[in-house]
Chains A and B, each alone.
Chain A
Amino acid sequence: MISANTAAAIKRVRRNTETHGVLAISGIRKEFPGVLALDDVQLRIRPGTVHALMGENGAGKSTLMKIIAGVYQPDAGEIRLRGEVVTLKSPLDALDQGIAMIHQELALMNWMTVSENIWIRREPKNRFGLIDHHRMNEMTRELFERLNIRVDPRAQVSELTVAQKQMVEIARAVSHEADVLIMDEPTSALTDREVEHLFTIIRDLKARGIGIVYITHKMNELFEIADEFTVFRDGRYVGTHASTDTTRDDIIRMMVGREINNMFPKIDCPIGDVILEVRNLTLPGVFEDISFTLRQGEILGVAGLVGSKRSNVAEALFGVHPAASGEILVEGKPVTIDSPRAAMGLRMAFLTEDRKETGCFLNLDCLANIQSAIITQGHARAGFLDEKTLTKMSADMAEKLRVKTPNLYETVENLSGGNQQKLLIARWLLTRPRILILDEPTRGIDVGAKSEIHRLITGLAAEGVAVLMISSELPEVLGMSDRIMVMHEGHVSGFLDRAEADQMKIMDLAAR
């Protein structure tokens, strides 16, 4: 029996869904300290469609997804689910309201069974109020049959392959009767056959009327599975189109097109001899056949999207996670770099991508942070450090780099991101490197500090230092580099000279 009231409500929801789509967001704004991540963003997902989100690194896709999944709260804007305005207080709240997210890093509990993972919080009970494992496994089996998934419900999740885990996550989302399913680069760890199976499941979900938000960097996937797509750039909405009447070039044009201003003071300086040569560097499953040369005084920019494994190549070069095969030659001589220490012995330096995770000693003072690399290379007699000289050197370098801190005994976590970065650069400059590897040297720091660091990098190149600079900001790569190496999924997809490079050409190589 459906009462007249309920029937009217159902009708209203249907009508709303038709006009607004299953999920419609508008005017979304999200600010983090110092960064405007999203500004007046909109998105509309129609039921029974796959809607791809496209954009460069840092375009705001992930932030938007986290807002839709209830992880972040927007500062302004409206979220309509089935036509009704909703607030999503937490991921659990979003799930209860019918929005499920399948995370890039899978969120399953490894030491529990497949069934337990799917029905957690909702376990069927027997008449003693205890969990009925038999019925739970039966429910899982039925669910898997519907979705054409072949995984044993009683298997432990830790024993599954990545693809199987993904299937389990999808099944869990479906079991919640979610209307909106968010998939964040679901194919990044799958083989071609597994991708096919995933797409079959996605088409099946579409037929059930579920709206799917699909984040991807891969153009061919977009054309294969998506009905519509929306492009973001620098936290702003660019446009929404049907994927059938769009070409690859159109999308790339929408994704790039940032303004390039004179923030990048690259000065021309003479480029010397080859100092670093890399031949067929390979780490199976991560990157393959990486070959390039780097000359004294040259800045080689490395561009690529998330998942292009640029940082892994840098880590291999510096011996953090050495490559399995391939050759590295420094000044024409083959070398073995099996630890950061070995790399430092060859006068290499490596500014890591993640300042907080692998860079700073956050609860130590500036001095300890600046000195940590140089003290491994001498300046000690019988283990006792030459404090006077070291402090003088550190203070001079900090002053040269204009690190802003009350004094050098300040704890580093109290410094701004830009000053932390300068400290890390100071750390490496004290070791007088010939080859400097910079991984995202200006990520998350303010504009002023950014241009200071840029000036510093060019200055070093002018002194003959060879610089390998990984950056996700195309204007930075274009502005700073003498040459650009573009990577795509663990391969070098091309080199561009300073004269010929532009954003379109880079994106063309980066997004295949």
Chain B
Amino acid sequence: MNANAIAPAVPARPARRLPPELNIFLVLIGICIVFEILGWVFQGQSFLGNTQRLSIMILQVSVIGVIAIGVTQVIISGGIDLSSGSVVGATAMVAMSVGQIATDRAVYPHLTDLPAIVPIMVGLLIGLGCGAVNGALVAYTRIPPFIATLGMMVTARGFAKWYTKGQPISFPTDGFAAIGQGLNPVWIFLLVAAIMHVVLRYTRYGKYTYAIGANPQAARVTGINVERHIVKIYAVAGLLAGLAGIMVAARGLTAQAGMGAMYELDAIAMAVIGGVSLTGGRGSILGTMIGMIIFGVIISGFTFLRLDAYYQEMIKGAIIVAAVIADMHRQRKRIKKS
């Protein structure tokens, strides 16, 4: 509160403070150490020492991680996106339907054996479109983001089921399937994360996103076109959900209407665990990435300890709630301070 006593004038080149992500990074280290110890005690082997397990773990979370990157910027802007899981389902179906090899069961017999770029572009456009609709609803009708994206969540899932009347779509071309093979999803995730990290930190898009989340009224008064920017934010989130849908379909070599169910909640949980504040204005891609790895480590660790899958889900839920409580606690401390 009392800044008067500290310095007479502003240093022109101020020193960076400790990154705020440090706390959760330490939590991640702590969790890893706990699993390592439990591993030696109960399983007689190292948890971290097994690189194969770690790469499977990263592979498992990288698809949801792509969604989490998109949802992170939505939450920073003060919103929420519940539709991403359903958008995954819808894009997986449509992308796969134009990415099939020629068989007698192809959805569009005339659109088979197309180059991989076709299903990719179609999937991305569908995701972008869904996101733009979300954004337009939030920005111009002023209904709460929760409701707008809930509507999209139900609608997109319905669309995915209607598209083939519930039938799965299989037999992708080799080109399309390649997207999901090996460690490709991990590379895609890292590329997306790197781009978004730079965008949020060094571009006007990023500055506007933080400003709108921190104080939409003040953002408007400083000349930011708040409505237009909100549409962009949700459109980007939709685009990334579309990308995740393509990755899921390619990886599974099949598309089903139920794909991506609950992904939206896992993605939100990753961001929140990573320190992205649900009240808007605070958070980072780095934080979400750490949140995502914490998420992965916990699931992988429980499996490693042969903990029942039912317990896993219950504990996962408790961790999400604990993360939000920790966030609220941080907020309250800040309010007291000011």
Contact = CB atoms under 8 A, between A and B. Distances in A.
Interface in A384-420: 384-385, 387, 392, 395-396, 398-399, 402-411, 413-416, 419
A364 B214 contact: yes
A220 to B, nearest CB: 36
A344 B223 contact: yes
A339 B227 CA distance: 12
A375 interface: yes
A340 interface: yes
Interface in B219-277: 219-225, 277
Given A363-B214, A364-B281, A409-B17, A318 B221 contact: yes
B205 interface: yes
A298 B210 CA distance: 36
A416 to B, nearest CB: 6
B221 A340 contact: yes
Contact of B1 (A368, A373, A407, A414): A414
Contacts of A320: 220-221
Contact of B203 (A352, A372, A383): A383
Contacts, number: 134
Interface stretch (A153-161, A272-280, A289-297, A353-361): A353-361
Contacts of B14: 395, 406-409
B23 to A, nearest CB: 15
Contact of A427 (B11, B199, B205, B222): B222
Contacts of B13: 395
Nearest to B334: A413
Best-surrounded residue of B1, B16, B199, B218 (most CB of chain A within 10 A): B218
A19 interface: no
B181 interface: no
Nearest to A359: B218
A404 B221 contact: no
Contacts of A408: 10, 14
A405 B223 CA distance: 26
A368 B221 contact: no
A344 to B, nearest CB: 5
A237 interface: no
Interface size range on A against B: 35 or more
B contact patch SS: loop
A375 B7 contact: no
Nearest to A378: B204
A44 B7 CA distance: 49
Interface in B1-53: 1-4, 6-17
A376 B223 contact: yes
Given A406-B6, A407-B15, A416-B2, A361 B218 contact: yes
A410 B14 CA distance: 10
B3 A406 contact: yes
B203 A377 contact: no
Contact of A383 (B205, B218, B334, B337): B205
Contacts of B202: 384-385, 387
A330 interface: no
A380 B6 CA distance: 33
A458 interface: no
A285 to B, nearest CB: 21
A341 B4 contact: no
A413 B202 CA distance: 23
Interface in A312-362: 318, 320, 339-341, 344, 350, 352, 357-362
B217 interface: yes
A350 B220 CA distance: 12
B96 to A, nearest CB: 33
A17 interface: no
B4 A416 contact: yes
Interface string B93-134: 000000000000000000000000000000000000000000
B221 A358 contact: yes
B217 to A, nearest CB: 5
B66 interface: no
Contacts of B277: 363
Interface residues of B, number: 41
Contacts of A411: 334
B215 interface: yes
B129 to A, nearest CB: 22
A361 B8 contact: no
A386 to B, nearest CB: 10
A413 B338 contact: yes
A471 interface: no
A216 interface: no
Nearest to A367: B14
Contacts of B221: 318, 320, 340, 350, 352, 358-359
Nearest to A394: B10
Nearest to A424: B218
A352 B222 CA distance: 10
Contacts of B215: 357-358, 360-362
Residue among A350, A380, A407, A409 having the largest count of chain B Cβ atoms under 10 Å? A407
A198 to B, nearest CB: 33
Contacts of B199: 383
B207 interface: yes
Given A340-B221, A340-B222, A350-B221, A375 B207 contact: yes
A361 B281 contact: yes
Nearest to A431: B223
A371 interface: yes
Contact of B207 (A350, A368, A404): A368
A399 B11 CA distance: 8
A414 B335 CA distance: 10
Nearest to B338: A413
A372 B6 contact: no
B204 A357 contact: no
Given A361-B214, A405-B7, A373 B15 contact: no
A372 B10 contact: no
Given A364-B210, A384-B203, A340 B7 contact: no
A487 B76 CA distance: 41
Interface of A: 318, 320, 339-341, 344, 350, 352, 357-364, 368, 371-373, 375-377, 380, 383-385, 387, 392, 395-396, 398-399, 402-411, 413-416, 419, 427
Top 6 A-B pairs ranked by shortest CB distance?
A: A407-B14, A361-B214, A376-B223, A373-B222, A413-B338, A372-B222
Given A340-B222, A407-B17, 13 more contacts: A344-B223, A358-B217, A361-B210, A362-B338, A363-B214, A376-B223, A383-B205, A385-B202, A404-B3, A404-B9, A407-B14, A410-B3, A419-B3
